[in-house]
Structure formats: C-alpha cells, structure tokens
C-alpha cells in the first residue's frame, strides 16, 4: 500500500547564505526556457530543503517525528554533502510522503546541484546518487459509463453548459494538458478544420485534432461566447471575471464530476483516457507521442500502462479468433 502524503506546513524561508543562490538558480531556469510550473516546483523544493533541513541541522519542526540524523546547521551550499540529501529524502518518507513525491523533490535538488556545481566550479554532492525508487501505479482510466455521466451534466443551452461541454470534449478528444487548454487563444482554434495549435512544455508548439462532436460543441460555445461581456479577450475560454485559468478549468471539471456523482476527478485523467483509447483502437505509438507532445518513449510507456491488461485481453480475442 502506498503512503499517504502528510499535510505539514512547509517552511520556505532559508537564510541569506542559501537563498541567494536559489534566486540565481531561478534566473538560470527562466533563461533556458523552463516553464513557470517547473520553475515554481524547483524553487520551492530547494527552498524547503534549505530552510527546513539544512538550516535546522536536520531538525525540522515536526513534533511527531524524532530526527535520526542531525548535524551542524549548514549555511553554505558548498558544505552540502550527499548524506544531507539522503537524510532529507529519508525524512520525507518518514513524514508519509509518497515515493513519487519524494522522487520529484529529489530531481528538483538534482537540477539545482548540477547547476550549482557548474556555475561555481565545485563538486556536485549528488553526482552518482540513485533516485528514490518509485513503485509504478497505473492510473485508472475513466469508463464509458463515467464519461456518459459526466457529459450528462452539460446538456443545457446556457453559456456555462456550452463552455463546459466544449472544454471537456477538448480534454477527451485531444488529451492536451490543463495548461495547454487554458492557454488556447481564439486564433489557435479552427472548428472547421478541427485543429488547435497548442503551446506545450518548453514553449514548443504542436497541432492537435479533435472530433466533429468537439468541433460542433466548440462552434456552439464560440457563438454564445460572442455575446458575453468579456468577448473581446483573446483567450478561448472566458468567464464572468475574465479568461479562465488552469485552476478555473480544474474547478469546472471538479464541479461537473461532483454533479455526476463521480467524486474527485483530476482533469489529467482525460489525458490518460485519450492515450488509452488511442492505443486500444490500434493507433500508432509514434503518432500518439506527437499528439501528446512527448519527446521520450518513457512517457508513452507510463501512460500506456493504464488499462494495458484490458487491452491485452481484447487483443487476444482479436488475434486468436475468440469471442466472435
């Protein structure tokens, strides 16, 4: 059974001797075009490690956990050793954080120390370290019944229903990321051509296709959108307060999922659904990589693992001539 992530407040204010280099690291990340979300994750991970572990000598302010490894407080990055990073990862596991979460923290620190070592021309304390092992947990794919229940909540003709219908169909039919969907501009979409130009990670652009059903829903939404107070905005998705943000789209999906009786629904599950459906219907893996904006087949394997067993069983009947 996986660990449940603990909910402790994070201390993100390291002493000046450590914080100055973190801001320089942030500048470096921005200079090489890293996305805002990546920069934020890396910055907070490094701040957290510095403020709550290095600056306290391995004595984070968590009352229910006694530290197993303590040391003199560290106020200079050049004094950081491999054992400090290992101790921090062990501490996070003790606090109940999941293996994938600890792995993400590790990789953020790995990026920081790689930059720091090159920038200051000093040894990298994490060189040769092995990352925390992550137990693969396939994400359950939305069922057709769940999809039907979800879309049954957006059958109205009012502005919100048409907007939410178009949003969820675009998520279902393209598998694009939340940030990519929220970033769509009017000039990026063509209902007639059933295409959208999205800007993904690393500011790379690609063109995705969607179904006639999604195109019709988008067309209906754009017609009612033209009558809204914020119609002059260039963003495709708008609300009463302006352009809909990634957080706003997440709230829309969560609200519709609650109405459908599905409980909590992470919009990223649409991406898994799209990838699973593509592979299940015999779509080429290379085409899926292009549509999803992946440079590495590692992501293909990760997403393809969802419902892989059910695809294999259906493939058996198709190939071996059973179930006909």
* CATH code, 230: 1.10.443.10
Full residue range of the structural domain in which residue 258 is found: 144-317
- For the entire predicted model, the pTM comes to 0.70
**Residue at 32 is within a domain:** yes
Q: Is residue 323 part of a domain?
A: no
Task: Judge if 216 and 149 occupy the same domain.
Answer: yes
Using CB atoms within 10 Å of the CB of residue 126, give its burial: 0 to 12 exposed, 13 to 18 middle, 19+ buried: buried
| Residue 4, pLDDT score | 42
Q: Say what the pLDDT of residue 6 is.
A: 45
Predicted confidence at residue 1, as pLDDT, reads 37
pLDDT of residue 300: 76
Closest CA to 74 of 88, 86, 58, 61: 58
Q: What residue ranges in 191-322 does DSSP mark as E strands?
A: 195-199, 205-209, 238-239, 242-243
Tokens of 170: 């675009």
- Dist. CA 167–CA 240, nearest whole Å: 16
Domain boundary residue, one of 56, 86, 120: 120
Number of structural domains, the chain?
A: 2
36: in domain: yes
210 lies in the same domain as 176: yes
- pLDDT of 286: 86
Per-10-residue mean pLDDT for the chain, 324 residues long?
A: 47 90 96 89 96 91 71 95 95 91 96 97 95 80 94 96 98 94 96 94 89 97 96 97 96 97 92 88 85 80 69 76 59
User: Do 157 and 302 share a domain, yes or no?
Assistant: yes
**What are the structure tokens assigned to 25, written together?**
């690291």
The pLDDT score that the predictor gives to residue 301 is 74
The whole-angstrom separation of Cα 242 and Cα 194 is 25
Q: How many residues does the chain have?
A: 324
Residues 199 and 249 in one domain: yes
Q: What is the pLDDT of residue 2?
A: 42
Q: What pLDDT score was predicted for residue 324?
A: 53
- In terms of phi and psi (left: phi > 0; alpha: psi -120 to 50; beta: otherwise), the region of 293 is left
Q: Is residue 241 a contact partner of residue 194, using CB atoms and an 8 Å limit?
A: no
Confidence at residue 262, expressed as pLDDT on a 0 to 100 scale: 94
Q: What angle do CA 53, 59, 60 make, to 5 degrees?
A: 65
Q: Dihedral sign, CA of 253, 97, 61, 55?
A: negative
Q: Which residues share a beta bridge with 199? A: 205
């Amino acid at each position: 059974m996986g660990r449940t992530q603990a909910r402790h407040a994070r201390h993100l204010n390291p002493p000046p001797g450590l914080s100055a280099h973190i801001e320089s690291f942030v500048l470096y990340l921005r200079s090489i075009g890293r996305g805002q979300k990546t920069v934020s994750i890396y910055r907070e991970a490094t701040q957290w490690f510095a403020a709550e572990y290095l600056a306290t000598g391995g004595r984070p302010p968590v009352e229910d956990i006694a530290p197993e490894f303590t040391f003199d407080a560290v106020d200079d990055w050049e004094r950081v050793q491999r054992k400090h990073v290992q101790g921090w990862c062990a501490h996070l596991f003790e606090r109940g954080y999941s293996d994938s979460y600890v792995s993400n923290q590790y990789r953020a620190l790995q990026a920081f120390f790689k930059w720091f070592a090159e920038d200051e021309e000093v040894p990298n304390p994490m060189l040769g370290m092995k990352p925390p092992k992550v137990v693969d947990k396939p994400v359950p794919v939305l069922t057709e019944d769940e999809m039907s229940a979800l879309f049954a909540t957006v059958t109205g003709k009012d502005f919100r229903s048409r907007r939410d219908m178009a949003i969820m169909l675009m998520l279902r039919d393209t598998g694009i990321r939340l940030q990519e969907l929220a970033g769509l501009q009017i000039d990026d979409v063509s209902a007639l051509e059933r295409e959208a130009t999205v800007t993904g990670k690393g500011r790379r652009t690609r063109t995705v296709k969607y179904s006639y059903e999604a195109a019709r829903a988008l067309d209906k939404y754009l017609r009612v959108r033209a009558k809204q107070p914020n119609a002059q905005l260039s963003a495709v998705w708008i609300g009463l307060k302006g352009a809909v943000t990634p957080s706003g789209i997440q709230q829309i999906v969560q609200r519709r999922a609650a109405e459908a009786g599905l409980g909590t629904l992470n919009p990223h599950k649409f991406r898994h659904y799209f990838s699973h459906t593509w592979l299940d219907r015999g779509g080429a893996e290379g085409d899926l990589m292009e549509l999803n904006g992946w440079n590495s087949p590692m992501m293909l394997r990760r997403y393809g693992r969802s419902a892989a067993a059910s695809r294999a069983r259906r493939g058996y009947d198709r190939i071996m001539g059973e179930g006909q």
